[in-house]
Amino acid sequence: MGAGTNEGRRSGAGAPRDALSGARADVSTPAGVARLLREQYDLDLTDLERFEGGWDSAATMWTGVDAGGARYALKITSRDVQFGLSLAGSTGLAAAGGVLQPVPTRDGALWATAAGHLITVSHWVDGADAVDLGPDHVDWHELGRVLRAVHDQPVPEGVRPQRGGIRRSSSSPRALIDTVDRAYRHGVAPDLTRRW
């Protein structure tokens, strides 16, 4: 998948076909999503419905339940998130805990493709969105432990990150810190001091 673009691939004679059946893939309706999940993931989910959430504005999110009552999340995106999925699916992170593992496809892949989109499935995690809770409800030590585990992982083979590394600035670190200090000088500093 390219740099997250999808021009000319959504309809018409050149529309992509489902990788397994050869039929034109449909990822916009509950019936089409259910079919894709059966064919690519061997999952038979009911009560499929869209939901809002996540940081990927190019994604459509679905949730559904299997016969045993387990809930799953499905993400359909035009963005290239293969690097992050490969990292999340690494055995080292699975052992470390704290990182949601992708559910593998029927052939063991961490994602599927259909209709020019990348499809991922994970087990549903109940609870409030961390963004809605705010910084006082974060277990900072646990977050640090998980981030350490992520950074200790080797770079996944066969996929490339979308960005080539940290964005650089021509400003000195001192100038950058001064800019932040000026922006938050009034009213924010006491609140941050209490938190830290």
Domains of the chain: 1-183 (3.30.200.20)
- Non-local (6+) Cβ contacts of 71 within 8 A are 63, 64, 65, 123, 124
Given its phi and psi angles, is residue 158 left (phi above 0), alpha (psi -120 to 50 degrees) or beta?
Answer: left
In which residue are the tokens 């035009």 written? 78
Q: What is the mean pLDDT of the chain?
A: 79
Q: What is the pLDDT of residues 25-72, one digit of tens each?
A: 678 899 999 999 999 999 999 999 999 877 788 899 999 999 999 999
Q: Which value, in Å, is the radius of gyration of the alpha carbons in the chain?
A: 20
In angstroms, the CA 133 to CA 193 distance is 20
Sign of the CA dihedral with 139 first, then 101, 79, and 58 last: negative
State CA 55 to chain mean position distance. 8
Q: How does residue 188 score in pLDDT terms, banded at 50, 70 and 90?
A: low
Residues 45, 64 contacting (CB under 8 angstroms): yes
Tokens of 138: 């974060």
Residues 35, 17 contacting (CB under 8 angstroms): no
- The more confident residue out of 109 and 159 is 109
- Non-local (6+) Cβ contacts of 4 within 8 A are 58, 78, 79, 80, 162
- Non-local (6+) Cβ contacts of 58 within 8 A are 4, 77, 78, 79
Q: Which helix (H) or strand (E) holds 65?
A: strand 59-65
CA distances for 172 relative to 54, 132, 162, 165, angstroms: 33, 34, 26, 18
Residues 64, 112 contacting (CB under 8 angstroms): no
Poorest-confidence range of 81-90, 144-153, 155-164?
A: 155-164
Q: What pLDDT shows up at residue 91?
A: 81
